Structures are given as C-alpha cells and as structure tokens.
Amino acid sequence: MLLPNNKSLGFSLIELLIGMTIMAVVIAIGMPSYSAWIQNTRIRTAAESIQNGLQMARAEAVKRNVSVQFVLSDDAAWLVGCEAVNSTCPAIIQSRTVGEGSSGDITIESNAGYTFVFNQFGGVNTPIAPDLLTVDVNSSVAAADRPLRITIYRTGGSIRMCDPFPTLSSTDPRKCE
C-alpha cells in the first residue's frame, strides 16, 4: 500500500521470505548446540542432586551420631535413611525420585556400589578398598555430552563434583584428580 508521499507500510512478500529463510538457517545451525546444552544441563542437575544427597547423609550422620546410609539407584533416584532404624532415626530421612531434578536418560556408575554409609564422624564405612570413591553421572542419549564425577574421600567423607574431561588443564579446579 502506497501512501500519498510514496512511503509503503509493512513488508513485501520477498522481504518476508528472505527473513524467514535467514531465521531457519540460524535455527538449523544452533539446534545441535542447544540439544547438547540441554543434555549437559540434565547431567549437571542429576549430579548436583546426588552431591546434595550425599552431603545431607553425611551431615545427618554427624548430627544424629549414628550411621546414615545414602542409597543410589542407577537412574539417579536416591534416598537418605538411618542404617539402624529406631524411634529417633527413621528409615527414610529424605528421598528423590527420577522425575525430581533429572530425566530417565541419565546413567550412573560407581566404583563402590550404590550404597554409601556415613559414620558419626562423617567418614564412609565401606568394604571397598579405594580411598577415593566415585560416582560417574552420564547420559545415554547424546554423544557430545560432558559427564561429571562425584568423588567421596572415605576417611574424611569430603564430597566434590569434578569434570573427568581429559583435555582440561591440570591447573583447572574443575578437573578430576
């Protein structure tokens, strides 16, 4: 539509098609990166949930002065509860299901099984030999994902999340030992 002084309102069909084409190309280029970012966010969420559960189990063991266990399933669901259940120490103190904070495509692997028992001093009671217990959080979906590792030192019970990516610099604080 032309105005009296030869100015047009709106866009022509050609301008609209060119704009839509540019937008489609940008979306097509960015989609793989976005998918990898979403999957890495899911991995981080599951790893942080597990780390928080481990820290809660350790804190409850020290607070209650009893052994408290952290039981992890292979799909990132977990529960914290007393090892010896009584009137002051319940079987389940807190738990998380798969739907709370992670998705079903998260995989968990551990070098010490899936049950960690913290003693009243905050250390881990486990018959497994290594002093460094690990829980690896990964995805079964994306090939370009960045797995995370949660490490638990048996004697002191300290818990840390790190990145096992091999090309990280040795001075990077995110790198696993």
Q: Give residue 137's Cα distance to chain centre.
A: 7
Show the DSSP H helices in the chain as ranges.
13-64
For residue range 37-64, list pLDDT tens digits in order.
888 888 898 899 999 999 999 999 999 9
Q: What is the pTM of this model?
A: 0.80
**Domains defined for the chain, CATH in brackets:** 13-162 (3.55.40.10)
Q: Which of 154, 100, 48, 150 is nearest to 163 (CA)?
A: 150
pLDDT band of 142, cuts 50, 70, 90: low
For residue range 77-115, list pLDDT tens digits in order.
899 999 988 888 899 999 888 777 666 678 888 887 888
